[in-house]
C-alpha cells in the first residue's frame, strides 16, 4: 500500500505542474490539458484506503490531487494583475471547473441516480472554494485580487454546493464589493452578478440586502468607473434593473454612457434567438424611457456618445414596426412613421431630435423621400410632423431641390388648413352638445382633439416656409389666417403659429400691428351679433368651400362692466384673455419702437392697462407681460413703469412674481444705460433691492430666477457691485440651497465662466476671497445635523481654481495678469496675522499657499512685500501645527528659490523708506508678538442654525408687503437670502457691526475652556463674542428690532417714508407708483398709474 501511495503522489507531482506550465503560455492547448488533468483526477480519485475496520473509506487520492491543485493556485495568486500568464491560468481553472461538473452531470444522468450523494466534482469544487475564500481576507491586494478572480471564473459553473458554503460565499462577496482596491471590486461584482441568478428571495433574511440590490447600489454609487462598468455589463437585465441601467446614460464617465447604448440597448433589442422582442425593444419600452434614452444620448456633450445614440435610433427605425411588418408594402417612410408613433409628439422635442438624427445618418431614407399632393390630403400627427421636420431639415442643409419637391402649392395648403380647421370646429360643436348630455369628454375624444390641433399647427409651421410669389395664394392664406385669429374658438396653441404666418405675409411690422389691433377690436365688440353681421360680398374669386368666419362691421366697443351680467362679464374676460394672447404674440414679433407704431397706443389704454389693474391672476399676468413687452420697445414707458414692476415683486404670488422678475431683467438688459448707470445711484439701489428679495425669498423657483438674472447681468458687465458676487457665492455654498438644483447648476456654470473670461474678473474674486472665507468658514461648523455644507478647505480650493491665471482666456487688447496668486498669497498672509481666526481655518489657509501659481516674472515690490509678510508671519505669529508649519516653510522656500535674484539685494530698512509702503509697515509694526499660546482652538460642534449677519449686508428692517418696493432698498447693504419672519433664514455668520459699537466696559462672558498652564507668562482669557439665538423671540411673532447699519459712504439710510422713489432712475421725474391690488381705496392711484404710463407716450 505505501508503494501505491508513493506511485500516485509521484504521478501527480510530475504531471500537474507540467500541465499548468503549458496552459500559462497559450490558450490553444487548454482543451487538451483539461482532458488530461481530468484523467489524472479520476485516476487519483480511484485510490482509496479503508478505515474503521472497513466500515468506511479514506479518499486518499482525491486529497492528494486537491493539495497539488491548491499548491498551483497559491503560486498563481502571487502573480500581479495584468500578467497574461496568470490570466490564462485563471481561465483554465474556470474551464476545468465547468468541464468536470458537466461530466459529473452526464454520468449521473446515465446512471439515473437521483440521490444527493456527493461526487468527485462536487467535493473538489467545495475544497477549492473553501481554499479561495481564505484568500479573500488576505492583506496583500494581489492575493485578494487573484482569489476573487478565480472565483469569478468558477462561480457560473459551480454545480451543487452546500448551503453553508453558498452563504459564506455570498457574504464574502458582499465584503469584497466594498474592497478598497478597484480591481478587486471589479472581479467581486462580476462574481456576484453570476451568483444573483441562483439567489432565492425566501432565503434572504429580513433587513439583509439581496445580491441584486448590492449590484444596483454599486452600479449607481461606486466611485470607480471600472467597477460601475463591470456592473453594467454583467448585471442581469430585467424590469427591476432596467431603470437603474437607463440612469447610467447620465453617468460621469464617457465610456460608461457609450456602453449603455452600444452594449446594452443595441444588443438586447431582441432576445438571443433574434425572433422575440427583447426588454429594450422600442415597442416594449415606455414613452418616458424612450424619451430619456433619446434626450440623454443625442444631448450628450461627447461626440462618441451622440454617435452611439444615433446608431441606436437607426436600428430602432428598422425594428419599430415589430411583428406587423408586411414585406411587400414595406417602405422606409413607413418605418419612420412607425417610429414616430412611439413618441409623444405634442409634449417635447425628443421626437424631432430623433427624426433629424435619422435624416442625417440614413441617407437611404432622406434621399428618397417625396411628399406628393395625396400625402397632404390625409394627414395624421405623425405624417404632418414628418413632413414639417423634413422641410426644416432641407432649409438647414440648404437643399433647395428637395425643398421645392417637398413643399405643397400655397393654395392647396391653404385649402388643407381650412378643411382641417373646419373639421376641428365641427368636432368642438359636437363635443359641446355631447358634454351637455354625457358630461366630461372621454380620454379618447380629448386625444383626438389634441391630435387635430397638432396637425393644424404643423401645417401652419410649413406655411411659414412657402414661396408666396403667387399673389392669389398669398391672399387666400392671408385671409384664412386673419379669419382664424378672429375666432374665439381658435386654440391658444395655434395663436402663435398663425401670427408667424401673418408676419411673413405682412409687408412690414406696421401692417401686422394694424391687422392684430383690428382683430382685437372685433373680438371685444360684444354688441348684438344680428345687428353687426352682414353677408360677405361676392368679389368674383373662387373660395374653398364655405368659410365659417363672418365679416364684421366697424366695432362699437365693449359695454361698461357695471352694465354686464355675471355671464357677460365671464365671457368678456375670456375674450380679453384671447386679445391679450394676441397682443403678446404680436409684441414678441415687433422690433420697431413704440413711437413708430402709434396704433399700439389705443390698445395700451383700452386693454393692457385695465388688465394690469384687474384682481384676476390670469388677466393681471398677461396684462403685465404685455406691458413689459411694450416697455422693451418704449424707453419712456419703461422708465415710468419700472417702479410698478418692482412693486409687484414683493406683493404678487409666486407665479406672477416669476413673470414680473423676467420682465424686470429683460428691461434692464435692453435699457441698461437708463437703469444701471452710476448717475444718481439708481444702479446701487436696484442691486440692493434684488439682494433684499434674494435674502428673504422662500420660493426655490424665484431664488433660481434671481440668481440667473443677476448672474447674466454680472457676466455681461452691467453690474460690477462686489455685494452681488458675495451674495451669489453665499447662495452657491449655503446649505439651504442644496436641494435647489437649478440655483446650484446655474452658479456652478457661472463662476468658472465669469472668472476665466477676464483677468479683471479674477482680480475681483481675489479681492473678495479673504472676507468671504472669514464669514463662510465659521458657518460650516454651525449647520444643522440635517444639513450639509462644503468644508473650508473646499471653499478655499474653489477660489484658488477660479483665480488661477493659467485658466484665464486671452482677450484681445487685454493683457494677462499672472500675478493674481501672488497678491492672493499676500492677502492670505495678512489674514493669518489675525489671532481671532481659529487654528482649523488657519491650517486651511496655510495649505492653500502650496497650490498657488508662481509666475516667471513678478514685480519686485510685490514679491518683496510677500517675502516680508512671510518673514514676519513666521517670527511674530508662528504656528504650532506641524502640517501648517511645513506648508509655510515649503512655500517660503519656493518663493526664495524662484525669485532669488529679485530678493538678493532685499533690505527691510531700505524698503521702509518707500512712501507707498507706509501702510504695510504700519500694519506690521502694530502686530504684537504673542507667546506660544496665542492660537484659539474652538471645538467643532454642530448647533442649531443661528440668526446672524448676512455676507452681503449688515441688517435690514422688515418691510410690510404693501409699502413701496424702494423702501426695501433704502439700506446701503442688502441682505442675503432669507426665509421670512418665522422661518429660519440662510445667513452667513460674521461679527455684527453692533459689536464694534459696544462701550469699553461692556463685558461678554467667555466660553468655559481650560487653558494649559504656562510658566513663562500669564495671559488674559481670550474673549469670544457669542451670537445669541433669537429663535424664541421669532416664535412669539415679534419682529426683531435691528439698528440701521452704518453706511460705507457716510450716508444715513433713508427712512421708509421717503424711499418710495429711490429706485426710480435719475432721468425720470419723481413718479410714485403703488402696487396694483384692485381695491376700492386704490382706485384713484390706479387711474394715476394709467395716466402716467399713457402720458409717457404723448
C-alpha cell at position 450: 389634441
Q: Per-residue pLDDT for 225 more than 90? A: yes
Instruction: Give the model's pLDDT for residue 551.
Output: 44
Q: Per-residue pLDDT for 1038 more than 70? A: no
pLDDT level of residue 274 (50, 70, 90 thresholds)? low
pLDDT level of residue 1028 (50, 70, 90 thresholds)? very low
CA–CA gap between residue 522 and residue 524 (Å, rounded): 6
The backbone region for 958, taken as left when phi is positive above 0, alpha when psi lies in -120 to 50, beta otherwise, is: beta
Output 510 or 962, whichever has higher pLDDT. 510
pLDDT level of residue 162 (50, 70, 90 thresholds)? confident
Place of cell 424707453: 635
Whether 472 contacts 408, CB under 8 Å: no
Output 418 or 558, whichever has higher pLDDT. 418
Residue 522 burial by CB count (10 A; 0-12/13-18/19+): exposed, middle or buried? middle
Q: Per-residue pLDDT for 482 more than 50? A: yes
CA–CA gap between residue 800 and residue 824 (Å, rounded): 9
pLDDT level of residue 367 (50, 70, 90 thresholds)? confident
Sign, CA torsion 150/155/157/160 = positive
Whether 1073 contacts 1089, CB under 8 Å: yes
Query: What would the mean pLDDT of 583-598 be, rounded to a whole number?
Result: 89
Query: What would the mean pLDDT of 468-489 be, rounded to a whole number?
Result: 91
Instruction: Give the model's pLDDT for residue 559.
Output: 62
SS3 58: strand
Instruction: Give the model's pLDDT for residue 557.
Output: 54
pLDDT level of residue 1049 (50, 70, 90 thresholds)? very low
Of 390, 274, 269, 397, the residue nearest 337 (C-alpha): 390
Q: Per-residue pLDDT for 543 more than 90? A: no
Instruction: Give the model's pLDDT for residue 340.
Output: 92
Query: What would the mean pLDDT of 354-369 be, rounded to a whole number?
Result: 90
- Segment among 394-398, 785-789, 794-798, 989-993 with least mean pLDDT: 989-993
Instruction: Give the model's pLDDT for residue 911.
Output: 63
Whether 477 contacts 468, CB under 8 Å: yes
Instruction: Give the model's pLDDT for residue 928.
Output: 60
Q: Per-residue pLDDT for 404 more than 70? A: yes
Q: Per-residue pLDDT for 250 more than 90? A: yes
740-741-745 Cα angle (round to 5): 130
| Residue 756 CA to its chain's centroid (Å) | 21
Query: What would the mean pLDDT of 209-235 be, rounded to a whole number?
Result: 93
Q: Per-residue pLDDT for 172 more than 70? A: yes
CA–CA gap between residue 578 and residue 1001 (Å, rounded): 70
C-alpha cell at position 699: 420660493
Instruction: Give the model's pLDDT for residue 447.
Output: 87
Output 526 or 16, whichever has higher pLDDT. 16
Instruction: Give the model's pLDDT for residue 161.
Output: 81
pLDDT level of residue 937 (50, 70, 90 thresholds)? very low
Count CB atoms within 10 A of the CB of residue 955: 18
Q: Per-residue pLDDT for 1081 more than 60? A: no
Residue 25 burial by CB count (10 A; 0-12/13-18/19+): exposed, middle or buried? exposed
Instruction: Give the model's pLDDT for residue 547.
Output: 40
Output 667 or 1089, whichever has higher pLDDT. 667
Instruction: Give the model's pLDDT for residue 315.
Output: 92
Quote the mean pLDDT of the chain: 79
CA–CA gap between residue 873 and residue 144 (Å, rounded): 50
Rg value, the chain, Cα = 39
Q: Per-residue pLDDT for 421 more than 80? A: yes
CA–CA gap between residue 128 and residue 953 (Å, rounded): 70
Q: Per-residue pLDDT for 916 more than 90? A: no
CA–CA gap between residue 104 and residue 100 (Å, rounded): 6
- Segment among 3-7, 80-84, 705-709 with least mean pLDDT: 3-7
CA–CA gap between residue 906 and residue 862 (Å, rounded): 12
Q: Per-residue pLDDT for 1037 more than 50? A: no
Query: What would the mean pLDDT of 345-362 be, rounded to a whole number?
Result: 91
Instruction: Give the model's pLDDT for residue 549.
Output: 43
CA–CA gap between residue 1089 and residue 299 (Å, rounded): 47
Whether 212 contacts 199, CB under 8 Å: yes
Q: Per-residue pLDDT for 724 more than 90? A: yes
Residue 202 burial by CB count (10 A; 0-12/13-18/19+): exposed, middle or buried? exposed
Q: Most confidently modeled of 102-106, 666-670, 1010-1014?
A: 666-670
The DSSP H or E segment spanning 764 is: helix 759-780
Place of cell 411587400: 328
Query: What would the mean pLDDT of 245-259 be, rounded to a whole number?
Result: 95
Query: What would the mean pLDDT of 601-615 be, rounded to a whole number?
Result: 90
pLDDT-above-90 percentage for the chain: 42
Place of cell 512655500: 891
- DSSP summary character for residue 51: E
Residues in the chain: 1098
- Segment among 5-9, 40-44, 459-463 with least mean pLDDT: 5-9
Place of cell 532685499: 906
Q: Per-residue pLDDT for 1029 more than 70? A: no
pLDDT level of residue 129 (50, 70, 90 thresholds)? very high
Q: What is the pLDDT of residues 328-351, one digit of tens each?
A: 456 788 889 999 999 999 888 899
Instruction: Give the model's pLDDT for residue 931.
Output: 52
Instruction: Give the model's pLDDT for residue 1011.
Output: 37
Of 714, 724, 631, 639, the residue nearest 674 (C-alpha): 639
- Please report the DSSP string for 939-1006 in residue order: PP----------SS-S------TTS-GGGGG-SSS-------SSS---------HHHHT--TT---PP
Task: Please give the C-alpha separations between residue 365 and each of 331, 341, 368, in angstroms, as whole numbers.
Answer: 9, 17, 6
pLDDT level of residue 142 (50, 70, 90 thresholds)? very high
- Segment among 35-39, 791-795, 947-951 with least mean pLDDT: 947-951
Q: Most confidently modeled of 53-67, 328-342, 372-386?
A: 372-386
CA–CA gap between residue 497 and residue 464 (Å, rounded): 9
Q: Most confidently modeled of 391-400, 671-680, 926-935?
A: 391-400
Instruction: Give the model's pLDDT for residue 59.
Output: 81
CA–CA gap between residue 805 and residue 537 (Å, rounded): 75
Instruction: Give the model's pLDDT for residue 1042.
Output: 37
Query: What would the mean pLDDT of 214-234 be, rounded to a whole number?
Result: 94
Q: Per-residue pLDDT for 654 more than 80? A: yes
- DSSP summary character for residue 680: G
Sign, CA torsion 690/692/698/704 = positive
SS3 519: helix
Q: What is the pLDDT of residues 884-914, one digit of tens each?
A: 999 999 998 999 898 888 887 766 666 665 5
CB crowding 567-578: b at 16 or more within 10 Å, else e: eeeeebbebbbb
Place of cell 396684462: 623
pLDDT level of residue 224 (50, 70, 90 thresholds)? very high
Sign, CA torsion 805/832/986/726 = negative
Output 322 or 632, whichever has higher pLDDT. 632
Output 934 or 99, whichever has higher pLDDT. 99
Number of H helices, E strands in the chain: 49, 4
Instruction: Give the model's pLDDT for residue 32.
Output: 93
Q: Per-residue pLDDT for 989 more than 70? A: no
Q: Per-residue pLDDT for 545 more than 80? A: no
Q: Per-residue pLDDT for 1043 more than 50? A: no
Instruction: Give the model's pLDDT for residue 705.
Output: 94
pLDDT-above-70 percentage for the chain: 76
pTM (predicted TM-score): 0.73
Instruction: Give the model's pLDDT for residue 1014.
Output: 36
Of 74, 172, 91, 166, the residue nearest 122 (C-alpha): 166
Q: Per-residue pLDDT for 710 more than 90? A: yes
Q: Per-residue pLDDT for 480 more than 70? A: yes
Query: What would the mean pLDDT of 761-780 be, rounded to a whole number?
Result: 91
Output 557 or 249, whichever has higher pLDDT. 249
Instruction: Give the model's pLDDT for residue 1075.
Output: 38
Count CB atoms within 10 A of the CB of residue 394: 22
Task: Please give the C-alpha separations between residue 596 and each of 513, 593, 833, in angstroms, as whole numbers.
Answer: 11, 5, 64
Amino acid at each position: 500500500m505505501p508503494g501505491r501511495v508513493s506511485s500516485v503522489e509521484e504521478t501527480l507531482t510530475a504531471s500537474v505542474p507540467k500541465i499548468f506550465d503549458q496552459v500559462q503560455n497559450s490558450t490553444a492547448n487548454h482543451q487538451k490539458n483539461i482532458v488530461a488533468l481530468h484523467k489524472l483526477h479520476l485516476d487519483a480519485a480511484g485510490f482509496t484506503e479503508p478505515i474503521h475496520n472497513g466500515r468506511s473509506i479514506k479518499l486518499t487520492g482525491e486529497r492528494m490531487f486537491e493539495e497539488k491543485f491548491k499548491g498551483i493556485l497559491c503560486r498563481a495568486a502571487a502573480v500581479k494583475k495584468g500578467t497574461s500568464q496568470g490570466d490564462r491560468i485563471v481561465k483554465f481553472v474556470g474551464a476545468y471547473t465547468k468541464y468536470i461538473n458537466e461530466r459529473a452531470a452526464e454520468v449521473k444522468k446515465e446512471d439515473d441516480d437521483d440521490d444527493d450523494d456527493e461526487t468527485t466534482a462536487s467535493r473538489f469544487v467545495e475544497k477549492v472554494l473553501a481554499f479561495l475564500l481564505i484568500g479573500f481576507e488576505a492583506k496583500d491586494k494581489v492575493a485578494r485580487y487573484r482569489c476573487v478572480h478565480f472565483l469569478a471564473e468558477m462561480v457560473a459553473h459551480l454545480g451543487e454546493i452546500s448551503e453553508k458554503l453558498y452563504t459564506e460565499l455570498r457574504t464574502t462577496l458582499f465584503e469584497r464589493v466594498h474592497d478598497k482596491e478597484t480591481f478587486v471590486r471589479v472581479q467581486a461584482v462580476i462574481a456576484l452578478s453570476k451568483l444573483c441568478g441562483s439567489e432565492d428571495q425566501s432565503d434572504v433574511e429580513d433587513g439583509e440586502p439581496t445580491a441584486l440590490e448590492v449590484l444596483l447600489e454599486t452600479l449607481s454609487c461606486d466611485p470607480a468607473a471600472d467597477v460601475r462598468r463591470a456592473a453594467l455589463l454583467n448585471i442581469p437585465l430585467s424590469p427591476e434593473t432596467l431603470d437603474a441601467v437607463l440612469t447610467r446614460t447620465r453617468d460621469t464617465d464617457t465610456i460608461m454612457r457609450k456602453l449603455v447604448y452600444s452594449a446594452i440597448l443595441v444588443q438586447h433589442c431582441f432576445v438571443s434567438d433574434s425572433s422575440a422582442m427583447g426588454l429594450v425593444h422600442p415597442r416594449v419600452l415606455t414613452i418616458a424611457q424612450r424619451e430619456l434614452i433619446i434626450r440623454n444620448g443625442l444631448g450628450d456633450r461627447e461626440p462618441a456618445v451622440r454617435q452611439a445614440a444615433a446608431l441606436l435610433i437607426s436600428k430602432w427605425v428598422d425594428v419599430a414596426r415589430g411583428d406587423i411588418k408586411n414585406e411587400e408594402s414595406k417602405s422606409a417612410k413607413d418605418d419612420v412613421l412607425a417610429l414616430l408613433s412611439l413618441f409623444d409628439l405634442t409634449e417635447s422635442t425628443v421626437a424631432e431630435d430623433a427624426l433629424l438624427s435619422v435624416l442625417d445618418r440614413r441617407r437611404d431614407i432622406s434621399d428618397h423621400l417625396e411628399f406628393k399632393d395625396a400625402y397632404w390630403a390625409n394627414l395624421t400627427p405623425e405624417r404632418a410632423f414628418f413632413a414639417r421636420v423634413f422641410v426644416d431639415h432641407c432649409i438647414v442643409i440648404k437643399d433647395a431641390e428637395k425643398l421645392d419637391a417637398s413643399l405643397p402649392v400655397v393654395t392647396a395648403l391653404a385649402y388643407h388648413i381650412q378643411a382641417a380647421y373646419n373639421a376641428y370646429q365641427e368636432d368642438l360643436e359636437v363635443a359641446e352638445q355631447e358634454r351637455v348630455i354625457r358630461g366630461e369628454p372621454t380620454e379618447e375624444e380629448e386625444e383626438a382633439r389634441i391630435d387635430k390641433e397638432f396637425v393644424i399647427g404643423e401645417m401652419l409651421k410649413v406655411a411659414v416656409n412657402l414661396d408666396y410669389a403667387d399673389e392669389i395664394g398669398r391672399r387666400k392664406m392671408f385671409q384664412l389666417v386673419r379669419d382664424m385669429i378672429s375666432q374665439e374658438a381658435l386654440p391658444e396653441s395655434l395663436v402663435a403659429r398663425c401670427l408667424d404666418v401673418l408676419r411673413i405675409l405682412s409687408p412690414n411690422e406696421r401692417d401686422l400691428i394694424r391687422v392684430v389691433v383690428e382683430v382685437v377690436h372685433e373680438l371685444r365688440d360684444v354688441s348684438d351679433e344680428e345687428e353687426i353681421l352682414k353677408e360677405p360680398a361676392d368679389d368674383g374669386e373662387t373660395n374653398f368651400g364655405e368659410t365659417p368666419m363672418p365679416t364684421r362691421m366697424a366695432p362699437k366697443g365693449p359695454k361698461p362692466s357695471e352694465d354686464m351680467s355675471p355671464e357677460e362679464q365671464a365671457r368678456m374676460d375670456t375674450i380679453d384673455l384671447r386679445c391679450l394672447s394676441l397682443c403678446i404674440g404680436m409684441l414678441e414679433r415687433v422690433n420697431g419702437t413704440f413711437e413708430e407704431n402709434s396704433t399700439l397706443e389705443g390698445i395700451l389704454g383700452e386693454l393692457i392697462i385695465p388688465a394690469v389693474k384687474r384682481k384676476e391672476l390670469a388677466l393681471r399676468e398677461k396684462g403685465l407681460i404685455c406691458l413689459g413687452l411694450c416697455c422693451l420697445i418704449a424707453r419712456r414707458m419703461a422708465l415710468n413703469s419700472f417702479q410698478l414692476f418692482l412693486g409687484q415683486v414683493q406683493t404678487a404670488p409666486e407665479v406672477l412674481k416669476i413673470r414680473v422678475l423676467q420682465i424686470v431683467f429683460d428691461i434692464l438688459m435692453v435699457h441698461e444705460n437708463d437703469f444701471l448707470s452710476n448717475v444718481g445711484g439708481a444702479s446701487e439701489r436696484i442691486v440692493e433691492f434684488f439682494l433684499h428679495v434674494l435674502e428673504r425669498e422662500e420660493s426655490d423657483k424665484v431664488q433660481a430666477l434671481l440668481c440667473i438674472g443677476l448672474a447674466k447681468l454680472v457676466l455681461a458687465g452691467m453690474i460690477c457691485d462686489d455685494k452681488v458676487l458675495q451674495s451669489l457665492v453665499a447662495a452657491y455654498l449655503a446649505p439651504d440651497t442644496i436641494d435647489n438644483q437649478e440655483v446650484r447648476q446655474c452658479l456652478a456654470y457661472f463662476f468658472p465662466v465669469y472668472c476665466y473670461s477676464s483677468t479683471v474678473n479674477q482680480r475681483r474674486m481675489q479681492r473678495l476671497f479673504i472676507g468671504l472665507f472669514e464669514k463662510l468658514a465659521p458657518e460650516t461648523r454651525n449647520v444643522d445635523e440635517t444639513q450639509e455644507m462644503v468644508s473650508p478647505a473646499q471653499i478655499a480650493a474653489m477660489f484658488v481654481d477660479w483665480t488661477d491665471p493659467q485658466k484665464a482666456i486671452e482677450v484681445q487688447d487685454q493683457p494677462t495678469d499672472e500675478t493674481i496668486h501672488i497678491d492672493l498669497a499676500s492677502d492670505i498672509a495678512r489674514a493669518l496675522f489675525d489671532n481671532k481666526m481659529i487654528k482649523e481655518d488657519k491650517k486651511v489657509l496655510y495649505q492653500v499657499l502650496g497650490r498657488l501659481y508662481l509666475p516667471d516674472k513678478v514685480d519686485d515690490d510685490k514679491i518683496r512685500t510677500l517675502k516680508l509678510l512671510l518673514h514676519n508671519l513666521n517670527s511674530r505669529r508662528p504656528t504650532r501645527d506641524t502640517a501648517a508649519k511645513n506648508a509655510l516653510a515649503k512655500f517660503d522656500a519656493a518663493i526664495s528659490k524662484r525669485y532669488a535674484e529679485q530678493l538678493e539685494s532685499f533690505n527691510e530698512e531700505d524698503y521702509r523708506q518707500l512712501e507707498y509702503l507706509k501702510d504695510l509697515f504700519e500694519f506690521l509694526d502694530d502686530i504684537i508678538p504673542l507667546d506660544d499660546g496665542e492660537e484659539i482652538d474652538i471645538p467643532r460642534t454642530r448647533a442649531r442654525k443661528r440668526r446672524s449677519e448676512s455676507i452681503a449686508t449688515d441688517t435690514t428692517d422688515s418691510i410690510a408687503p404693501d409699502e413701496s418696493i424702494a423702501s426695501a432698498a433704502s439700506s446701503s447693504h442688502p441682505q442675503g437670502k432669507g426665509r421670512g419672519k418665522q422661518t429660519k433664514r440662510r445667513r452667513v455668520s460674521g461679527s455684527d457691526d453692533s459689536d464694534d459699537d459696544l462701550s469699553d466696559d461692556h463685558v461678554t462672558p467667555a466660553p468655559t475652556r481650560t487653558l494649559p498652564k504656562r510658566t513663562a507668562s500669564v495671559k488674559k482669557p481670550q474673549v469670544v463674542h457669542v451670537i445669541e439665538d433669537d429663535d424664541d423671540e421669532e416664535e412669539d411673532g415679534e419682529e426683531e428690532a435691528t439698528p440701521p447699519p452704518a453706511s460705507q459712504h457716510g450716508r444715513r439710510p433713508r427712512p421708509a417714508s421717503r424711499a418710495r422713489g429711490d429706485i426710480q432712475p435719475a432721468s425720470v421725474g419723481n413718479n410714485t407708483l403703488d402696487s396694483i391690488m384692485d381695491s376700492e381705496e386704490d382706485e384713484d392711484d390706479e387711474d394715476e398709474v394709467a395716466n402716467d404710463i399713457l402720458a409717457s407716450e404723448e
